Structure 1
């Protein structure tokens, strides 16, 4: 099976699933119409006879409607006008096709309706049932299109919001690093060169990550290492770090730059304001339900009144991570913030398998 066949198969399968549902709906609708006709006009024949003709008419209307939907110009027409055109063609056409087919099944000459004063009743019953059915199918399709449009709009809005959050996170690190680098160029050229090398590694990986939604965990950790190297050069002995990534998780994928805001928070709120040494530890581990990544620090920690469950809108880093997790994995993924013992903060990201 080639690639085109693989791509077409789900679409064909979905088409027949939808057609099956529509045909069932048509059969039920015209069965009800047949029962009403049998009660209202007994002269038309027995219930089985009326049911056969009614169901054939219903299938005929659906067949013609399906053929009309294959016309490209109908989809560019205003929705209400397209519905009217479909009714004008499908109702009489389906009535004619259905009667031809039903007459062939019962081996009798084709007749469009009964005789006598009630001859208009089958026309009216078919028209009313067909109009209601076609209008219902049209309304359902319009609702589906509107729902799809809303999903696309929500996706674009979510993407824009995530880009804004990311833009609010990165300048803090870049401005501080460049300011520190300006001083090191004169005071310690060797340290300045090391910082420039790590900054190049970080910016290159950040640029690559910004162009993709998902990234291998080993690449995410490489970017974090470059960032932490820059921070340790800037802060000197006040900061140490350790990254732990098992071999089994090297090629697992996560949203790009997912952990970066947690590291920035650990430094901004933990290590930088603290007098003395702080350490940051990033550990990824496999669990029964998926992947768990913890970012813990021994820094100053957050304010005592900080709400770990619902960070304020100014907590761009935590908001960014939560939005990324929700967008990529839905409610099954989570970010939890707890106080680290004896000091600091521990942020834990849980990603479902």
Structure 2
């Protein structure tokens, strides 16, 4: 019996290799997490079934009480009984995947055992699906662990071989042969199957725990680096703090060197090779340029891919990690190694995780800086008597876009800054080119139409020949804002604003129309001549524009306000041309 047990242990050794292979199967973790749909159940049943077929061919043959050991079993005679080890694989399938995976893999092995034949083919065919069901059900009953404990697997692994021996006694044609098989191989089979099941579960648990422990350590290291990088990235941009960031990464990571670059040149380099890898040199590596262009992490496994011309350079391989700011690639972190064997999957994933964390930190601080700029802009605009409602609505718009559309948020921020700059220049310059005033209007309209894309239509008729004529700042924009804020306030249909700019003799004519409610008839004679209270709403802006025109041109300018016959209102001003095609210095 001892000799048979030793032989069975030798034959079952290949299943230990199968156990290691199991940990490499794609989707293996979903099996351990019990997070499976029917397609994954079928997939794992097929994988374990194929491995069970291989296990069947590593078994032994009983021929009239004689144990036959061959290197690879292919043919089974009618009077011979195949004692295969596919049942061990099927039990593993049941323990890890539950009764459905165990049953599926058992059916595959069972059908194959029927195809092979032999004196106990029916017992072999019936035992494999039963083993999958039994171990699947008992495994779920005894344990909620991802991988069952080896001692529990040892206990569960005893039952299927005992049942198998019983089926051989029942279904084998020659009862005397069945008794001899059970007496000779029964106990050794129970021992080897149970111990093999325990060893395999122990191997899977050990491999899984090791990988999870390594992943936890790398995650902890990435978070530690991210925490230390916070003060570096918070105070200034990556460009200004590239050296400090490179030194931090070099101290924390067991690597040969760290380089940080923007989209054009190397910003910092720390580590081996500092004598010839110079700060300020342009990006030469093809993979670095690919990483910048595609935004995808790149790995150079060969020294030739580094494209370093220095013959004694100790750097052999590298990982190029793109760094983002609001979804836009702004630079690279290059992590260099001395040997290609040092770049494992865990190093690649750590580099990828660091790139993501650092990019998120940069984007977060950029968002905070945007908010600070917006707050500062709010103060300045309030000082310039900007409509506070427009200010807050713009802040809310940019804040909302930052969540869903970073590109549009940046665009709105740029347009808002242009709008703000024009407002801040109101007091500093009395005259500006007409094209600057139109740009001021366009910036305002871009913001407003972004808030109401389907509720506002703007029509423009602008004579391109008068764009260089100088006019008072904040002349056209307040008329457009007044038309939108007050003229279209009560309009239920689509609001329309028409802007017409042209030349009439030696003057510039500007008219803004809308299809809104129009001016109160009783106020028409005095609109633009005196400011109104908030109750009337649409007189202060027009009054300020008219007063500025009078202050610059005395009586040479004119403002007219009227209601249109078809509904809506019109405000037109005439500005005398004093300076045309003058060179103008922008602030």
Give the TM-score of the pair, scaled to structure 1.
0.49
Larger Rg: 2
User: Relative to total residues, which structure has the larger helix share, 1 or 2?
Assistant: 1
Give the TM-score of the pair, scaled to structure 2.
0.30
